[in-house]
Amino acid sequence: MTPSSFRTWQSVQAEVLRRIHARDWKPGDLIPNEADLAVEFGCARATVNRALRAVAETGLLDRRRKAGTRVAAQPVAKATLEIAVIRHEVEARGDTYDHLLIERHYLTPPLAISGAMRTGSTEKLLHVRALHLAEGAPYALENRWINMRVVPEAMNEPFDRVSANEWLLQHAAYTHGDIAFSAIQANGADADSLGIAENSAVLAIDRLTWNREASVTKVQLLFTPGYQLRTGL
Q: Which of residues 137-176 bind DNA (CB under 7 A)?
A: none
CA distance 155 to 157: 6
- 105 scored as a contact of DNA (CB under 7 A): no
Least Cβ distance, residue 99 to DNA (angstroms): 30
Query: Do 97 and 137 touch, CB atoms closer than 8 A?
Result: no
Closer residue to DNA, CB minimum distance, 48 or 164? 48
- 231 scored as a contact of its own copies (CB under 8 A): yes
CA distance 131 to 165: 11
CA distance 220 to 40: 52
Closer residue to its own copies, CB minimum distance, 126 or 203? 203
Sole binder of its own copies in the list 82, 122, 158, 188 (CB under 8 A): 82
- 29 scored as a contact of its own copies (CB under 8 A): no
- 166 scored as a contact of its own copies (CB under 8 A): yes
- 148 scored as a contact of its own copies (CB under 8 A): no
**CA distances for 181 relative to 3, 64, 83, 204, angstroms:** 49, 32, 12, 6
CA distance 168 to 146: 9
Residue 45, binding choice from DNA, its own copies, none, Cβ under 5 to 8 Å by partner class? DNA
- What type of residue is 215? S
Count other C-beta atoms under 10 Å from residue 118's C-beta: 12
Residue 63, binding choice from DNA, its own copies, none, Cβ under 5 to 8 Å by partner class? DNA
Query: Do 215 and 166 touch, CB atoms closer than 8 A?
Result: no
Sole binder of DNA in the list 18, 23, 28, 44 (CB under 7 A): 44
Radius of gyration of the chain (CA): 24
- 106 scored as a contact of its own copies (CB under 8 A): no
- 188 scored as a contact of its own copies (CB under 8 A): no
- 145 scored as a contact of its own copies (CB under 8 A): no
Stretch 43-72: interaction string toward its own copies, x if CB under 8 A: ----------------x-------------
CA distance 91 to 108: 35
Sole binder of DNA in the list 20, 55, 69, 205 (CB under 7 A): 69
Residues 6+ apart with CB under 8 A from 66: none
Residues found near DNA in the complex (CB under 7 A)? 7-11, 33-35, 42-47, 49-50, 52-53, 56, 63-69
